[in-house]
A and B are shown apart, each in its own frame.
Chain A
Amino acid sequence: MDSPLIKIENLTLQFKTDEGLITAVDNVSFELVPGEILGLVGESGSGKSVTAKSLMLLNPGNAVYSPESQITLTIEGNTVDVFNLKSASQLKVVRGGAISMIFQEPMASFAPAITIGDQMVEQLLLHSHMTKKEAVTHSIEMLERVGISDAPTRFKQYAFEFSGGMRQRAMIAMALSTKPKLLIADEPTTALDVTIQAQVIDLMKDLVAEFGMAILFITHDLGVIAQTADRVAVMYLGNIIETGSVRQVIKEPAHPYTQGLLNAIPKLERLDEPLTPVPGDIPSPLDRPPGCVFHTRCSQMIEGKCDTLVPSRTTLKVGHTASCFVAEGSSDGEFEAVA
């Protein structure tokens, strides 16, 4: 078993705001091995984006990390404690070097007044020892690799001259040109048309196979995850409530929230069934429910238990964990609390 590429333990993050201290991420732990695609799924307010940004310490200044939080990067035998990185040159290792990130809105990620080519070259010059000429050649190659036709011409164009799908591809090219070990993709296909989305997803899978990197794929779209990811972690209001392989979580969801979420998705194969939403509304982050964060909307809640005690992560089957008293009770495998 490969040692994990990145290991997140007990990550807890709060934001200082006018309204008080808001908990965005609560005791989140997971890990990624090289070559694996992990899907981080959740609705708005689940904390998935914030978690991803923590890996590169990209959160705004009012973010307060708890002292137990730990993020450890292992590259070619060397371990790096991300929270210990202080100076800009140290952070450079992580940001854009070993880890790259692509975002939902590619228009917002590219500087509008600089050509795409210049931005890609700048990225390469910052993170590698290439000469400018080498960087240009390598960038054009990457553009071709992601399926942008007529790459040498496109290289000299500006972001607004690209269509949405092409911009996303260019962003992938830019992110991958430094050969990162981990690619964080934050809702990369949400803003794309469905036919373009299919193309981009295929591209990402090919690149993973070719470059051997890991992808942390953040999205709210379980369909995309089902077709792309190897493993899934489901988040709700800052907690990871279920993890497992894609098959386990989607075909045998253990946590009531996952079950509710899967039921709410309109499926083409089941046009006769009515849509069943998860009852209630997401509580405001200022009002985190005591005990299990989901209990206020859970139809299977156990009175006296779920509203006062916080469920710990229990293993239901090999590789399949859930933080839920109901799931614990109904699992027939042995259960051990995962610290």
Chain B
Amino acid sequence: MNDIPLVSTKNLSVFFGLGRKLFGERQVVRAVENVSLDIPKGSFFGLVGESGSGKTTLGRAILRAAPITGGHIKYNDGEVDYDVATINKKQLKDYRKRSQLIFQDPYAALSPRMTVRDIIAEPLEVMGLTSSRRETDERVREMAAKCRLNLEHLRRFPHAFSGGQRQRISIARALVCKPRFLVADESVAALDVSIQADILNLLKSLTDEMGITFLFISHDLSVVAHVCDYVAVMYLGQIVEEAPTRKLFSRPRHPYTAALLSAIPSLDPDDEQDAIKLEGEIPSPLSPPSGCRFHTRCAHVQARCQSESPQWRKIDDGHFAACHFTDELKL
């Protein structure tokens, strides 16, 4: 694994304006605030959070599919090196060839009036990556075969396929331009469990084979635990903990991570789960709590948490957390 991360965000912020309240200030949704994240080259990086955490926005901002309010996103794959937040049009075009997105909803991600062949071929045609129709067809067929779609399927329209098959078509489309960086936004959330396993295995084998760095966004911790090398946990627009997977799951250092882990229902009916019950609802990103954003629901909250934002601290090799009391807490 190289030392230079493929994607490195520094103090990245994404705010959305919501329009003015009558006679009031402009309402701003602070979807992502001050996020610094390093995604190592070749890794399968998990980004976990619940609703309102900003994980989808972060993923899209990295791809320049969401407006960036502040900060930097450094992209360096050995061939090119630029700041995605400030690149010009030409560099953006180049970036588009190297980075792609796989969507959550397999039913909305495919144009219903295009054949599967055309859907997969579109990136090649738009970006001008092939010189003849024959070459395009060959590459389409090659990618389709890798995703276990056969020739007959190429002639059909999306309405002929199930959710899992459509997701495979989405994956084929994302991979056909041979990108270096893929973002999967809840790509298996809408699928049944057995199909989910199938798609995850496919993703892993393809990214290993093609040497792709993967940002896997999900709310499902068990899935992330199985496929990712590193995991970052987000809460209300900020990253609260980041660690290699095993370390995060065996010894979480942030109260929110611990609560998330204990909330996952265990498959063993006899397992007496002493789940950490988080009180209350997730606050609105329109007005996040002061100080540590998690303090309103934290079982270990103290006065300091309300007034002071915790520092992003290194705990161990590759393991970081943002909490005032990481050393003292036994989670």
A residues in contact (CB < 8 Å) with B: 43-44, 163-166, 193-199, 201-202, 220-224, 226-228, 246-247, 250-251, 260-262, 264-268, 271, 274-278, 281-282, 284
Interface residue B281 (Cβ < 8 Å from any Cβ of A) = yes
Query: Is A163 in contact with B281, judged by CB distance below 8 angstroms?
Result: yes
Q: Of B221, B261, B281, which is in contact with the most chain A CB atoms at under 10 Å from its CB?
A: B281
Query: Is B270 in contact with A247, judged by CB distance below 8 angstroms?
Result: yes
Query: Is B201 in contact with A220, judged by CB distance below 8 angstroms?
Result: no
Query: Is A223 in contact with B165, judged by CB distance below 8 angstroms?
Result: no
* Closest chain B residue, CB of each to CB of A283: B162
Query: Is B266 in contact with A271, judged by CB distance below 8 angstroms?
Result: no
B residues in contact (CB < 8 Å) with A: 50-51, 162-165, 192-198, 200-201, 219-223, 225-227, 245-246, 249, 259-261, 263-270, 273, 275, 277-278, 281-282
Counting from the closest, the 9 A-B pairs by CB-CB distance are: A277-B198, A223-B265, A277-B197, A43-B192, A193-B50, A278-B194, A275-B197, A266-B222, A264-B197
Closest-CB distance, B158 to chain A (whole angstroms): 15
Query: Is B269 in contact with A250, judged by CB distance below 8 angstroms?
Result: yes
Cβ 8 A contact of A195, one of B195, B223, B259, B270: B259
* Closest chain A residue, CB of each to CB of B48: A194
Query: Is A226 in contact with B281, judged by CB distance below 8 angstroms?
Result: no
Known contacts A198-B275, A277-B194; A265/B222 CB under 8 A: yes
A-B residue pair count with CB separations less than 8 angstroms:
122
Cβ 8 A contact of B245, one of A166, A196, A261, A271: A271
Query: Is A197 in contact with B263, judged by CB distance below 8 angstroms?
Result: yes
Query: Is A44 in contact with B281, judged by CB distance below 8 angstroms?
Result: no
Cβ 8 A contact of A266, one of B163, B225, B270: B225
* Closest chain B residue, CB of each to CB of A275: B197
Query: Is B281 in contact with A166, judged by CB distance below 8 angstroms?
Result: yes
- Measured between beta carbons, the chain A residues less than 8 angstroms from B278 are 195, 198-199
Cβ 8 A contact of B51, one of A193, A198, A271, A274: A193
Closest-CB distance, A153 to chain B (whole angstroms): 15
Query: Is A247 in contact with B269, judged by CB distance below 8 angstroms?
Result: yes
- Measured between beta carbons, the chain B residues less than 8 angstroms from A196 are 50, 281-282
Closest-CB distance, A79 to chain B (whole angstroms): 33
> How distant is the Cα of A165 from the Cα of B278 in the complex, in angstroms?
13
Cβ 8 A contact of B267, one of A250, A271, A281: A250
> How distant is the Cα of A264 from the Cα of B249 in the complex, in angstroms?
20
- Measured between beta carbons, the chain A residues less than 8 angstroms from B225 are 266, 268, 271
Given A163-B282, A194-B50, A220-B193, 16 other A-B contacts at CB below 8 A? Answer: A165-B281, A166-B281, A194-B221, A198-B277, A221-B265, A227-B265, A227-B273, A251-B268, A264-B193, A264-B194, A265-B197, A266-B197, A268-B222, A268-B225, A277-B196, A278-B197
Query: Is A194 in contact with B269, judged by CB distance below 8 angstroms?
Result: no
- Can you list 16 residue pairs at the A/B interface with Cβ under 8 Å? A43-B192, A43-B195, A44-B192, A166-B281, A194-B263, A220-B193, A223-B265, A223-B266, A250-B267, A250-B269, A264-B196, A264-B197, A266-B197, A277-B197, A277-B198, A284-B162
Query: Is B277 in contact with A271, judged by CB distance below 8 angstroms?
Result: no
- Measured between beta carbons, the chain B residues less than 8 angstroms from A224 are 265
